Structure 1
Amino acid sequence: MHLASSHLPGITLVTIAGEVDAASSGHLETYLDRVRRGLDEHLIIDVSRLAFLDSSGLSVLLAAATLARAHGADVHLAGLRPSVARLLQITGTVELVRIHGHVRQAVAAVQARRDPAAFGRAEPPEAV
């Protein structure tokens, strides 16, 4: 498993590549706890390169979603592969996280939630 992270205003973005199973899920949990700047930050997880997720990895994602919701934030998963999407669907996890096709869609969703009035509002015309 390979993990990487970056930050945007109000967002921690984590990329997971490889497999998350019983041997690596503890590392994922520790990593998520360490890279978040605040519990009220939204967590966007790019899972487009996640090849396998077992129940222990699913448990880590559920714990992260529960913690985020308790602090007014959400966990967003972007780029689900079919096998991971199926696991989330079967277990009902899709009800607890937000699903997006791409990271940019997840970022836009968080930004819209943070400032809904800004979306759809036209920029003022420039002075001539």
Structure 2
Amino acid sequence: MRLTHRYLPGACVITIDGEVDITTSRELENYILLVRRSLDDHLVIDTGRLAFLDSSGLAVLLAAVLAQARGVAVHLAGLQPRVARILEITGALAAVRTYDHLEQALAAIERMTVAGFTEPGLGPA
């Protein structure tokens, strides 16, 4: 697994390349904790290169959702069908915003910020 990140106004974007399973989920968890500047920033996870996600990786993503400040969200971009299926059957899709492409997630965050939405479930996704 390879992890990279970048900061944008109001957001931290983390890209996951590879697989997140029991042997790598702790690394992802530590990385998220290390690179997040603030719980007040949206967290965007670019999953376009995420080939596999097991239950331990899912737990890490859900922990990130629970840690978010009120008014911001965790956004998943580029979900691959296999990963999307895991999120769907576990009900985790209800806890995150999903987008086909990273650019769509970033545009949605910008719209939320400009429009002043204070809850992740309100406004355009």
TM-score (norm 2): 0.90
Equivalent position of 2:16 in the other structure:
16
Q: Which amino acid aligns with 2:9?
A: P
Distance apart, 1:46 and its partner CA: 0.4
Q: Which residue of 1 aligns with 2:49?
A: 49
**SS at the partner of 2:37?**
coil
**Residue identity opposite 2:11 in structure 1:** I
Structure 1 partner of 2:39: 39
Q: CA offset at residue 71 of structure 1?
A: 3.8
> Aligned partner of 1:28: which letter?
L
Q: Report how many aligned residue pairs link the two structures.
A: 116
- Cα distance, 1:94 vs structure 2: 0.5
1:50-103 CA deviation, whole Å, 9 max, x = no partner?
0000000000000001111x4431000000000000000000001000000000
Q: Is the counterpart of residue 67 in structure 1 residue 67 in structure 2?
A: yes
CA distance in 2, matches of 1:50, 1:43: 16
Query: What's the RMSD between the two structures over aligned residues?
Result: 1.0
Match of 2:113 in 1: 114
Give me the TM-score of the superposition, normalised by structure 1.
0.88
Q: Give me the whole-angstrom Cα distance separating, in 2, the residues matched to 1:67 and 1:113.
A: 19
Alignment of 1:80-119 (within 5 A): 80-116=79-115
In the alignment, structure 1 segments of 5+ residues that lack a partner are 118-128
Tell me which amino acid in the other structure corresponds to 2:78. G
Secondary structure of the residue aligned to 1:72 is: coil
Identical-residue share of aligned pairs (%): 53
Runs of at least 4 residues of structure 1 off by over 3 A? none
| Deviation digits for residues 9-29 of structure 1 (CA, Å, limit 9, x no counterpart) | 000000001000011000100
The amino acid that maps onto 1:105 is Q
